[in-house]
Amino acid sequence: MGKPLILVTNDDGITAPGLRALIKYMKTIGEVVVVAPDSPQSGKGHAITLDNTLFSAKITVDKEHGATEEYSCSGTPADCVKLALQEILGRRPDISVSGINHGSNSSINVIYSGTMSAAIEAGIEGIPAIGFSLCDYSWEADFQPAETAIKKIVNEALVNGIPRGVVLNVNIPNLGKKDLKGIKICRQARANWKEKFDKRTNPMGKDYYWLTGEFELLDKGEDTDEWALANGYISVVPTQFDLTAHHAIQQLNSWDF
């Protein structure tokens, strides 16, 4: 049996250090093909390009340590996966991994995440998929402490499979290797963003806004991703893309339509 084909993508862009680290780790497991945005696409969620054309180019970012093949894409993370599966790869990947994101995608952040949306897009197509994020927004973030855990999670997914309709949301605390306590399977913590807009006026007298806010944790459970990260564990949340609130169906059926 040959090496598994691994599709690697992200939302921080094809030159992002987190993506380069993930390529390096995945090359020890299988054949790696990268299709990633040609510019940062953070916070784009599951947006797809419908009102413009998409462009893709085969490129070389790192000749010595790069993937088997790499392609930049002018679209969103979800566009990258669609294009990879329909036009570029020529065969189905055995697994798709997204990241390593610069910054957390735990709790409510998963809704906005381009990293996780890329994984979800692969999952929709029936491909095992994992999104990886490090809780460090710095461009100089150190991804090496999580290398062993990332490889372990991917290898376990390849051996055991991921339940259909589920992708894995993996978040890694910003700690040294000796301080990482292990891996915990968690649920998504209940949280919200207390959002504000910083209103300013440009020299032409036109108002403009910067979105700001504070993360508000509403969950004290010790089985959540936020608890795991705060206590030194890598969190793994099985995330589904069936958004049906099944528990609410019975109540809504009691309404008088």
Residue 42 in marked binding region: yes
Residue 202 in marked binding region: no
Sign of CA dihedral 228, 232, 236, 241: positive
The helix/strand/coil state of 64 is: coil
Strand pairing class (166-172; 129-134): parallel
Structure tokens at 5: 């084909």
- Report the alpha-carbon distance of residue 243 to residue 167 in Å, rounded: 13
Structure tokens at 150: 């990332």
CA distances from 14 to 11, 17, 120, 227 (A): 8, 9, 19, 31
- Report the alpha-carbon distance of residue 105 to residue 112 in Å, rounded: 8
Residue 207 in marked binding region: no
The H-or-E segment that residue 215 falls in is strand 207-217
* Cis amide prior to 100 (ω within 30 degrees): yes
Cβ(14)–Cβ(37) under 8 Å?
yes
Structure tokens at 145: 């402490």
- Report the alpha-carbon distance of residue 49 to residue 76 in Å, rounded: 7
41: number of Cβ within 10 Å: 25
Per the annotation, binding residues for a divalent metal cation are 11-12, 42, 101
